[in-house]
Each structure stands twice: as structure tokens, then as C-alpha cells.
Structure 1
Amino acid sequence: MIKNMLLIDTHTHLNLNDYEGDLNEVIAKAHHQGIKYFVVPGLDSKTNAKAFHLALEYECIKIAVGIHPCYWHDEDPMTIQQYLRLPQVVAVGEIGIDLYRDKTSLPIQKKNLQIQLDLAIKYNLPVILHAREAFEEVYKILLPYKNKIKGVFHCLVNNLEEAQKAVDLGFYVGIGGIVTYNKALIAHEIAQKIPLEKILLETDSPFLTPFPLEKTQRNEPAYLKIIAEKIAFLRQISFSDVVQQTTQNAKNLFLIDKL
């Protein structure tokens, strides 16, 4: 793939055990498909540390550190502060609110999110946001931070109005494998209507394997190209246009400037 066709996977969990046995091969396969850099977010203390050690080993890995909302019960969000001045760290994340399984923990989830937003501001870092069945809760917390913080709503593909509100706040929208599913009509609409200048490409691997591999394959960054191709098809523009703009978006947000 020619130099100006390189991609960035802005959300991949290479720090999970799913890649323990073949990470070198996974990275090599992705590079062969034109994926140059990987942004690897932490979820808790263990995966934050694992992401950091991966970034020391692989120059192509940049990391985000954060406490995911599903780990509110046994993690202190202040522990991420030890990483936030390190050059390998390009964002605070994955942070947010998740009400899919547990609505009773909303107060502590909100508190943890606010703590980590304040740390992102203190260290001048963007955020990677998780808002599963909790967009309005996250949105209301972000309103006072408008123009003070930037970032991306990860996997925001279930509601066009929410995606537009995220963009109006100055945030990017992360689009992953769901957009390749034939029945994911709302995701298709988001990919068509959100300005390309506000879209980031992500695999969320090992989760959300794109079609037609979703029933047989573990997801991995090499499949990012499938997502870019689907967005190009939906928008009726060239694959090159999608790659060039979304790569520039990722470079702008995460200050990845060596491509």
C-alpha cells in the first residue's frame, strides 16, 4: 500500500489475552494491510500496565490509559496519573458510563468519569469515551467541558442524533465493524451523514469482527480496511478519500505525526 494510504486503528485492545500467543503476527498482518499505528486503550490497572509495556516494545503502538466504567467497583481512577506525562500516552481512555448491565452504579460512574476528564484537561490529553446506553448521561457531564476538552465517542453507531450531538460538542465519532453489517441501518446512516472530517476508524478488536468474517474470525486490526471500504461505499466516495481523511483526523486528535 502506498505511503499516503496508511491507516490508524484508533481503538484496538491488543493488551488483552486474546493476542497473547500471536501478537507479532497480528501486528505484521495489519502492517501488510496498511495499518501503520494502533491506539490501545486501557480498561483497568492491569490492562493500562500491559498497554504501556506493549508501547515500549512496539513503536507502532500508542496508548490511552483509563478506568473503564465497568470496573468502577475495584479501581481508583487516580492511578492513571502515573502514566499521563509519558510520551507513549496519547489519550485518557477508555472512560465513560455504561448502563447496559448496571444502572445502580451511575453515581460512582459519573464521579469516576469527571475525575478522569479533569485529569485529561490537566495533562492536555484527549479522551476516548464509552457510552453504552448512557449517551445522555455522558453528554450532560461533558457540556460544562465544551471547548476545554476534545476526544472521540468510541463505537457511537446506534443513534444519528447522538452522533450529531457529539460532533456539535467538538468530538469525533468512532466507527467500527458494526457498520459492515447489512442490518445495521443506523450505523450506515451515521457513516453517510456525519462529516468525514469527524470520523475515526476503529476495530475494537478482538470484538465486533466485520462482515463477512464475524461468525468465524477473531477481530484484529488488519480488518480495519474492510471498515474503510464500507464507509467509502456508503458515502459513494473513493477508498483513498476515506483513508486520507480519517488518518489525518487520527493524527490531529492523538498528535501522531510521524506518518
Structure 2
Amino acid sequence: MKKIITTAALLAASWTVLPTVHAHMYAHNVKKRGPDRSEIALTFDDGPDPVYTPLLLDMLKQYNVKATFFVVGEKAKLYPELIRRMEVEGHEIGIHNNRHISNWFLSPPALERQLIKAADSVHSITGNRVTLYRPPWGHFNPFTLQQAKAFDTILWTSIPGDWKKNMTAEKLAEKLRMARSNGAIITLHDSGETTGAYEKAPLIMMDALRLFLSDQKSASFSFVTVHTLFRKN
């Protein structure tokens, strides 16, 4: 019995933890930081949200910040006006699966369907092909990178935990300051509906982001889309 349990645990790890660690630490085709320029890419996952995303877009416009949104396909379909607004205001749109489901629970055909549906939803709204992908929770299975080869897979330099219930604006703003560096990709969330997230977390995130963007040292950085961050000079 013990041998069966051990074998099952090893098989589970080979499908979940090991591919995820490899992708985060060693995969050359997964991007986590841009070139050494005074630029930062702010990225937002899990939206669009009908309440929080418009408020976030207002703030980004106020501070002249361009960002990248990794959207859930089903939500994009529900709120196409927010997808259109993102594009009109100069932001970049990537996909975050059609449903916010971990790749650990998806077979290769199921993941392929998630990617196609999400990309098609965005394309039907904007008319543009989606080129960026971020897996929910940053989870990879052994086939994720192969299935997502049509996209640039983007992770992060810093993910400061803005979704947590015990997070305060001041604490989060300090984490953002600590993450501030050349080429950084910072991951935040504009929806609190995801499993494990505090439903009002985006309000705290926006308060923290305002503190961060108002900081004098932040003024020495340009906040750009992921595409701009990785442009070739």
C-alpha cells in the first residue's frame, strides 16, 4: 500500500509540481523579466471585472500608464466593452485560459480548447490576434508549453500577493516598491472572484498602486506593455 501511495505521489508531482518548477526556473521560452532598461510592465490577471476594471483603467489613464491584461475568455465574452476600452486606451491583451482553471487539471486536448476559445473570444472583439499567454496560478503540466507554442508565455518577476485578505494598501505598496527594478514584470489582479481571493482585494490593490505610482522613484520608470518591454532596439 505504501508503495502504491508513493508511486501515485510521484506521478502526481511529475504532472504538476515538476513541470511548474521547470517552467518558472529553467524554461528558456518563458519570459519573466525584460531587458535592463528603466521600464516596468504592470500586468493584471483574472478580469475583466465589471466593477473594478473600469476603475483601474481610469487610474492607469490618469497616470499615463500602459499595462497588459491577461483576461479570462469567458469574462471577455461577457464584457466586450471593457476589452475594447483596453485596446482603445493603448493597453495590451493576453489570455489566461477560457475559464480560470489550473492546467494541472487539464489534458492536452482540454488545454488546447481553453486556449483556442479564449483567443477566439478576444479576437472576435478586437479583430487582433492574441500573442500572449499566462497560465492561471502559473501552473504548468508537461504539455503546457507545447500546447501554448503559438503564444509567448509570460510569467513575472514579482507577484506580491494582492489577492490576500490580510493585505493592506500600505503593505502592498511597499512590496511594489521592493519589486521596482529595470525590466520587472509585476503581476496584480483586477478581479476578486477567483478561488482563494478576497473579493474586495482589487480595491486595496488600486489604493496601493496609486501610492506606488505617486512615489517619486516610480517617476524614473516608464510603465509599458509586455510587447514594448521586449521590443528590439
Q: Normalising to structure 2: TM-score of the pair?
A: 0.47
Q: Whose radius of gyration is greater, 1 or 2? A: 2
Q: Normalising to structure 1: TM-score of the pair?
A: 0.43
